[in-house]
Amino acid sequence: MFVLPLGDDAQLRPLEPRHAREFLAHIDRSRPHVDPWIPWATFSADLASATSVLQGYADKQAADSARIYGIWRDGTLVGGVMFTSFDAASGVCEIGCWLEADGAGRGLVTRACRALIDWAFGERGMTRVEWWVATGNTRSVEVARRLGMTRDGVLRRRSSYQGARRDIEVWSVLSEEWPVEAAGTPGADVKAELDRLMDAFFGAFTNTDGRRPDVGGVRELFLPQGVIVSNTGEEPVVYGLDAFVEPRERILTDGTLTEFSEWEVSERTEVSGPIAHRFSEYRKSGFREGEWFEGSGNKTTQFVRTPVGWRMVSMTWYDDDV
């Protein structure tokens, strides 16, 4: 059995029928977040049905048509990712995810999905990875965006669930679009840590679907002397961490900025010993004082390795839409 570290004391490993009791307890904790969007979670109502769900995936894995994996954090199952369909003959597969509240906000699902896509393209030679999501499931859409997927279109009234017809968005990424980095190459572990820091930074501002943003968590990503610079206007505006965090914390919690999320769509990272640099393209969307907006821009971020791990030193950004 393989175990893949995801950072934050989390691991990705196969979710098997022997985990049924643990899986059921996890699903019971997850229902408020999962049931509105994922029909298969409702199938696990008791130990027998939870075992049946996992056995079904075990049978499909044996047939090479689907697979399921759990995310454990500090020894507790908090979510998972899966190939809901896997068709090696056509070169097309679909991935999905779920997560309970205690696992949210750490980028675990994004990193786990990247591992699945790496394997699908790098090991199995797949051509296309799809992501199907009900319109309105903003957290799932955010993951698709962070994975660099393209929204192909909407299947109108494609799905029926809980007495209503739902539109289904189809997102995808192609093999030639996926920047695969072999896990054993030099610097891969460092790159994964820098990815985690960036995921945490972007995720700190998210307040979609009733989620409370964790802007204050940005302080933990930077050195205490960290500097953040906006170069969007006529002159650069330089912030210390407190000066950057406090006004953003306010507008993300007082109703000024709602259903807001920001995500990285592409990046270029260079590591040289104990220092690193990353150039990122990002997008964002939300309601500003009740008006929907979308935007994009670029960030450049510098990192240093410290005795307690990698930390950000400085970040500079500009918005294209200003």
Res 180: pLDDT: 56
The verdict on 86 and 235 lying in the same domain is: no
Using pLDDT thresholds of 50, 70 and 90, give the confidence band for residue 304.
Answer: very high
Q: CA-CA distance, 122 to 238, in Å (whole number)?
A: 42
Contacts of 105 (CB under 8 A, 6+ apart): 200, 203, 204, 206, 211, 214
Tokens found for residue 267? 């990046």
Amino acid identity at 101: A
Residue 188 domain flag: no
Tokens found for residue 131? 């992501």
Using pLDDT thresholds of 50, 70 and 90, give the confidence band for residue 102.
Answer: confident
End-to-end CA distance of the chain, in Å? Answer: 51
Q: Which domain holds residue 260?
A: 197-319
- The CB density around residue 100, as the number of other CB atoms within 10 Å, is 21
Q: CA-CA distance, 71 to 108, in Å (whole number)?
A: 8
Domain stop point among 127, 145, 177: 177
- Residue 237, beta-bridge partner list: 230
Residue 186 has phi, psi (to 5 degrees) of: -60, 135
- Going by the DSSP 8-state scheme, the letter that residue 296 receives in this structure is E
Res 183: pLDDT: 44
Average pLDDT over residues 146-155: 89
Tens digit of pLDDT for each residue in 28-76?
888 877 777 777 667 888 899 999 999 999 999 999 999 999 999 888 9
Predicted TM-score (pTM) of this structure: 0.64
Q: CA-CA distance, 306 to 197, in Å (whole number)?
A: 14
Average pLDDT over residues 119-137: 91
For the chain, the domain total comes to 2
Task: Reply yes or no on whether the pLDDT at 184 is more than 70.
Answer: no
Helix, strand or coil for residue 170? strand
The verdict on 237 and 148 lying in the same domain is: no
The verdict on 163 and 212 lying in the same domain is: no
Element (H, E) at 117: helix 108-122
Q: Which residues of 130-155 are buried (b: 16+ CB within 10 A; e: fewer)?
A: bbbbbeebbbbbbbbbbbbbeeeeee
Res 187: pLDDT: 56
Domain stop point among 177, 212, 243: 177
Task: Reply yes or no on whether the pLDDT at 182 is more than 60.
Answer: no
Cβ atoms of 81 and 107 within 8 Å: the answer is no
Tell me the CA distances in angstroms from 247 to 212, 235, 251, 297, one per residue in order.
15, 19, 6, 20
The verdict on 251 and 297 lying in the same domain is: yes
78: CATH: 3.40.630.30
The chain-wide mean pLDDT, for the chain, equals 88
The verdict on 213 and 274 lying in the same domain is: yes
The verdict on 201 and 236 lying in the same domain is: yes
Greater confidence (134 vs 247) lies with: 247
